[in-house]
Chain A
Amino acid sequence: MRAVTWHGKHDVRVDTVPDPKIVNPHDIVIKTTATAICGSDLHLYDGVIPTMVSGDILGHEFMGEVVEVGPEVTNLKVGDRVVNPFTIACGQCLHCKSSFFSACENSNPADKAPMMEALYGYAGSGLFGYSHMMGGYAGGQAEYVRIPFGNVGPIKIPDGLDDEQVLFLSDIFPTAYQAAENCNIQKGDTIAIWGLGPVGQLCVKSCFLLGAERVIAIDHRTKRLEMAKASGAEVISFEAVRVNEALTEMTGGLGPDHCIDCVGLESHGWSVDNVLDFVKTTLKVSFDRPHVLREAIVACKPGGVLSIPGVYGGFLDKVPFGAAFGKGLTMKMGQTNMHKYLAPLLEKIQRGDIDPGFIISHRLSLEDAPGAYKQFHDDQDEWTKVVLRPGAASGAVQ
């Protein structure tokens, strides 16, 4: 089959590789119909994620048609159309049973898990196409994908919905929705959102779905601000104004009720090397750069929630923890508990409450992946979201 493979920093190729097959009794194999490039794939592209091996298949946002099922799979059959969550969960362990799927204890293979365990004190669930520390599972930017725990993860998509309407159930819509839900939004609440990438955009929508009175969205890229505005948010360009002053003024001196950091560390620090460098050199360090976190803590109304879907990986420097303490802020964060959100969010899409497909800027062939990664990396204002389709006509991108 054809698959998008990683070969090092800024070196993504499309290779012909062996087809995946059923390995464990709960596995399924799907034929991919659509897959997207995620902002977090750019961390891989930039080469800052450790434990990648040349030839690893990328991609964790994907959907397709079931072509093979393992003997223990009862929920799905060949021919079903499914969207797959990017985290792998067994559904049986203590964490899964309490809907804390992102900490599934049984999906990160025992020979891979110790890497993360040694650093973080837990192993984390397996992820598709996201390094060997996260399990080493082949990703979904490929013609076929093996999916473990077929009874638990992939959700069947009913007829009448386009791929583009449901594809983002695979990661960013649940991620954005969980971030909004974590704010426990009440009538009259104003929510401030930093970072208007795809998650930020869907977060604006999610906050309104959950009853927010106002959403104030912060970024500096024109198209992204326009897109948030079209979703009903008021916007602030951090290049044009002082964010905290603007937020205070816009909220009658109170500050936003809750704040959402959709930025995270960006490409700094989600790296074991950085973490270890810190230990080694103690003061001359590569820290995560928690600029948004600092700003959000200072901006947030006392008693508010600071919700963090943006990824952090290492150590934080100069976080105004005194302000967070004084205000009695609640911090909610973590990898998305995908499996909890698939069914309810699919229902919202079916009802027409939301169509997450609005964030797509480019539709290309799987064969166009190398150029698409480059463009997505270099021009984030134009390239908000790329969808790749195996078998589609290629050549649309350099």
Chain B
Amino acid sequence: MISSDTVPDDARKHKADRDSSDAMAVRAVTIGKPREEVFAFFRDFANLARFMENIERIDVQDDQHSHWVVKAPAGQSVEWDSTLTEEEPGRLLSWETEPDAEVQNHGRVEFKDAPGGRGCEIHATIVYDAPAGALGKLIATLFQKEPGQQAKRDLRRLKMLLETGEIATTEYEAGAAPRYKKSDASDEAKAAETRL
């Protein structure tokens, strides 16, 4: 279906994601817990490292500022400072990296009541800006390869953690098998998405 100019598209954020040349991710997940509880967990930024795959550590400096340590290839890491730019308790959080950050990013996470008492919907928009420096470039490539997939995975892990108290994994499966590479998985998903 082609959306007309006169009827506003309710999925416009997703459309913007598709149209944008930025590395931008818009993803949503429903978590079967009260909105206030989900917000409180998220608002304690140190918790983000518990479910975001590439985050090594987040140091909360004060109510508005946090320091992020992010995994980089070859055992390296990259760090940046992030500032909370907007907060509506229980509903909305926005952040932005400091201007000198190697990997510039900003984002916005909205928390809504899911219909029918099903808990809380999280709508996340994350944008990674043009990188500076060689390492920044490397990291950005890591994130920008498929920021949508990464955001989706992280939200899925958050849901697992909050609903079940653990994050499902087969990373440590004993067995002769070499680990199935994440890149294989995402390449397959990506290929399927493109073709369908």
Contacts and interface: CB of A to CB of B under 8 A. Distances in A.
A111 B177 contact: no
Given A106-B164, A146-B174, A114 B186 contact: yes
Interface stretch (A135-143, A153-161, A194-202): A135-143
Interface in B32-83: 32, 53
Contacts of B163: 90, 92-93, 105-106
Contact of B153 (A25, A110, A275, A280): A110
A23 B172 CA distance: 7
Interface string A44-85: 000000110111110000000000000010000000000000
Contacts of B175: 3, 5, 17-18, 20, 55-57, 138
Interface in A87-126: 88, 90-94, 97, 105-115, 117-119, 126
Interface residues of B, number: 41
B12 interface: no
A280 B192 CA distance: 11
Contacts, number: 151
A19 interface: yes
Given A105-B159, A109-B170, A137-B170, A55 B178 contact: yes
B168 A107 contact: yes
A20 B174 contact: yes
B9 interface: no
Contacts of A132: 170, 180, 184-185
Interface in A336-391: none
Contact of A276 (B149, B185, B191): B191
A73 to B, nearest CB: 12
A366 to B, nearest CB: 15
B192 A110 contact: no
A92 B32 contact: yes
Interface of B: 30, 32, 53, 118, 149, 152-154, 156-157, 159-160, 163-178, 180, 182, 184-186, 188-193, 195-196
Interface of A: 3, 5, 15, 17-21, 23-26, 50-51, 53-57, 72, 88, 90-94, 97, 105-115, 117-119, 126, 132-133, 135-138, 146, 148-149, 272, 275-276, 279-280
